[in-house]
């Protein structure tokens, strides 16, 4: 199966690979897995106190499409509000990367990772507010 040029570009030059401090109250961490293929993806968002995503990092162990999907969304969500980031749909990721039908689940994984990271961030905020 041929990968699209955009997938290859993100795969060969992945953006924003790395980790942030999980315990930082402004950092939300999302960890998701695709049991169908054994891929695992970690996405971290650093959110300012006024709800803007300042930074995003990822680590993905999986196929080229999974790496490209996570790399792409880290670029997209920077500068977005948390609510805007929640609106990022896998269909847009798949479209941008020209993913074939058998690789759609990789874009679903990236969407789920954003949601998981934001859920983690929000849970931290609630916890901090009640303490």
Q: Determine if 32 is a binding residue for other proteins (CB under 8 A).
A: yes
Sign of CA dihedral 2, 63, 53, 125: positive
Residues 34-73 that bind other proteins (CB under 8 A): 34-40, 42, 59, 61-62
Min dist. Cβ of residue 40 to other proteins (A): 5
> Do residues 28 and 44 touch, judged by C-beta distance below 8 A?
yes
**Catalytic option among 32, 53, 106, 109:** 106
Of the pair 61, 95, the CB lying nearest other proteins is at 61
Which pair of tokens denotes residue 70? Answer: 């996570």
Which pair of tokens denotes residue 84? Answer: 């805007």
Q: Is 63 a catalytic residue?
A: no
Which pair of tokens denotes residue 17? Answer: 């690979």
> What SS3 string covers 89-121?
CHHHHHHHHCCCHHHHHHHHHHHHHHHHHHHHH
Q: Which residues pair with 46 in a beta bridge?
A: 27, 55
Min dist. Cβ of residue 17 to other proteins (A): 10
Q: Pick the binder of other proteins from 5, 21, 102, 123 (CB under 8 A).
A: 102
Q: Pick the binder of other proteins from 105, 113, 114, 117 (CB under 8 A).
A: 105
Place of tokens 């790496």: 67
Min dist. Cβ of residue 37 to other proteins (A): 6
Of the pair 39, 80, the CB lying nearest other proteins is at 39
Of the pair 105, 124, the CB lying nearest other proteins is at 105
Residues annotated as catalytic are 37, 106
């Amino acid at each position: 199966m041929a990968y699209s040029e955009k997938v290859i570009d993100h795969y060969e030059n992945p953006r924003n690979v790395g980790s942030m401090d999980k315990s930082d109250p402004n950092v939300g961490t999302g960890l998701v897995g695709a049991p169908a293929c054994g891929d695992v993806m970690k996405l971290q968002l650093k959110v300012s106190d006024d709800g803007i995503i300042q930074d995003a990092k990822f680590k993905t162990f999986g196929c080229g499409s999974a790496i490209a999907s996570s790399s792409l969304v880290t670029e997209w969500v920077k500068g977005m509000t948390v609510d805007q980031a929640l609106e990022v749909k896998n269909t847009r990721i798949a479209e941008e990367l020209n993913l074939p039908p058998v690789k759609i689940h990789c874009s679903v994984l990236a969407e789920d990772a954003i949601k998981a990271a934001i859920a983690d961030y929000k849970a931290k905020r609630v916890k901090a507010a009640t303490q």
